[in-house]
Amino acid sequence: MRRRILKLSILISVAAAAIIVGSIAISQEKLAEKKDDLYRNINLFSDGFAIIKNDYVEEVDSKELVYGALRGMLASLDPHSQFMDPDMYNELKVDTTGEFGGLGIEITIKDGLLTVVTPIEGTPAWREGIRARDRIVKIDGELTRDITLLEAVKKLRGRPGSSVSITVLREGEDRLLEFKIVREIIKIKAIKDARILEGGIGYVRLIEFRQNTSEEFRRAIQKLKSQGMDALILDLRNNPGGLLDAAVKVTESFLEKGKLIVSTRGRKGNQNMEFSSKSRKPDLDLPLVILVNHGSASGSEIVAAALQDYKRAIILGTQTFGKGVVQTVFPLSDGSAIRLTTNKYFSPTGRVIHGQGVTPDIIVEEGKIELTEQKEESIADIFQGLEESEGRQEQAREIPEKYLTDNQLMRAVDVLKAIKIFKAKKAD
């Protein structure tokens, strides 16, 4: 009996070993096939390169041929992956300094067209009326068909005081719009405005996530709290994003420690990352409304999506842009570089941001409220509820007209008022 069991065990072991050997053989065979396929395609490229070098009507520089091949290779992947020659790579590095000569717009390639993500508030493009989702079809009279992102940046930037003409295709317009914009030094300040609007409702307008944004945001919140803030509107409209770390730090201001804020996933395991909250003293009970629109992208979508997933904030406005991919820059030996899409962003619940955007909890289209003059009151009306009336007038004087006419902002104020009233009634 023991001999039979021993014999059976040996047979099973032999069979298992055969399966393992077979699996290894299959894996090696597939690997060999992949290598053969790679070598065949490299040989194909090499043959094409040699034919162009030898038989093209004019002599061609080898480096230019390689650059052209790399441009085509990267462009075939997605609108954000690009090959950058040394000049373009230097342009990209200028962009990270926070100060440059240009128009003040964030752009991308969407559906094959050069598209405005958002104009930066207070810049020449903003003042001239450029809007999020405008399609730039011409720059200085030249069509932007097949233009790369960095080529567009190079054309739009220039000496401060010089001008550039752009032709825009705008949804809802039956004609092309022409703009002539004078370039300026663009100085980016993350916090555009921070104030108490009324009744303890604070307002912070955050226009971009840069290196010192989280510290500026923390100081702004502390200052508003010292002025009696007990609810907050965080305005991320036309915020094109910026640094991932800065967006994560702003988000963690409102979440318990250890909460997942955003994850990035790529093809390789080492490209998958998770970013969680680390704040020691977050504001967990501060009523919060976040304003977003079509110009809210990337980092601002990360903030909105995370706080929406945790039901920590009410998102109000219109659908966001939907840019949720990470590009990694790989410098090359001659000063050029490859900008390659390596990851996608995912919200805490696993929602894909790229191409989808964030849908607000309360959809409110952009528009202006028309302020009407108050009608003359009778003596009885004046004396009736005089104290209450004086309070309202004082409140109105505190809020500048530009806020009173902003319908999205005023809806956010109403939402926070309702929350505060509900909490007060519940406490009673």
Residues 183 and 207 in one domain: no
Residues 161 and 200 in one domain: no
* Range(s) of the domain holding residue 312: 191-363
Residues 155 and 284 in one domain: no
d(CA 304, CA 267): 26
Asked whether residue 400 is assigned to any structural domain, the reply reads no
Residues 206 and 255 in one domain: yes
**Which CATH number goes with the domain that contains 257?**
3.90.226.10
Q: Evaluate whether 230 touches 286 at the Cβ level (below 8 Å).
A: yes
What total of structural domains would you count in the chain? 2
Q: Evaluate whether 338 touches 84 at the Cβ level (below 8 Å).
A: yes
- Give, for all 428 residues of the chain, the pLDDT tens digit: 545 544 445 444 444 444 444 555 555 666 566 667 777 888 888 888 899 989 999 999 999 999 999 999 998 998 888 898 888 787 666 554 445 678 988 888 888 899 998 888 788 999 999 998 899 999 999 999 988 887 888 889 888 899 999 999 999 898 999 999 999 988 777 888 899 998 899 999 998 898 889 999 999 999 999 999 999 999 999 998 888 899 999 999 999 999 999 999 988 877 789 999 998 889 999 999 999 999 999 999 999 999 999 999 999 999 999 998 888 889 999 999 998 999 899 999 999 999 899 999 999 998 877 766 554 555 555 445 444 444 444 444 456 677 888 999 999 999 999 999 988 887 77
d(CA 127, CA 149): 23
Residues 166 and 223 in one domain: no
Residues 163 and 215 in one domain: no
Rounded to the nearest 5°, which phi and psi values hold at 156?
-80, -30
Asked whether residue 323 is assigned to any structural domain, the reply reads yes
102: nearest Cα among 166, 33, 37: 166
DSSP-H helix ranges across 254-385: 299-309, 379-383
Residues 6+ apart with CB under 8 A from 95: 153
Which residues belong to the active site? 298, 309, 323
Q: Name the one residue in this structure whose structure tokens are 């820059």.
A: 329
Asked whether residue 106 is assigned to any structural domain, the reply reads yes
Residues 196 and 343 in one domain: yes
Q: Look up residue 99 and give its two tokens.
A: 């100060």
Residues 210 and 331 in one domain: yes
Adjacent-strand bridge partners of 330: 338
Q: Look up residue 246 and give its two tokens.
A: 């800065």
**Which CATH number goes with the domain that contains 172?**
2.30.42.10
Buried b or exposed e, range 385-413, using 16+ CB within 10 angstroms: eeeeeeeeeeeeeebeeebbebebbbbbb
E strands, 244-356, in order: 260-265, 273-276, 288-292, 314-317, 325-331, 337-346
Asked whether residue 319 is assigned to any structural domain, the reply reads yes
Asked whether residue 387 is assigned to any structural domain, the reply reads no
Q: Name the one residue in this structure whose structure tokens are 């030249």.
A: 142
Residues 133 and 278 in one domain: no
Residues 165 and 280 in one domain: no
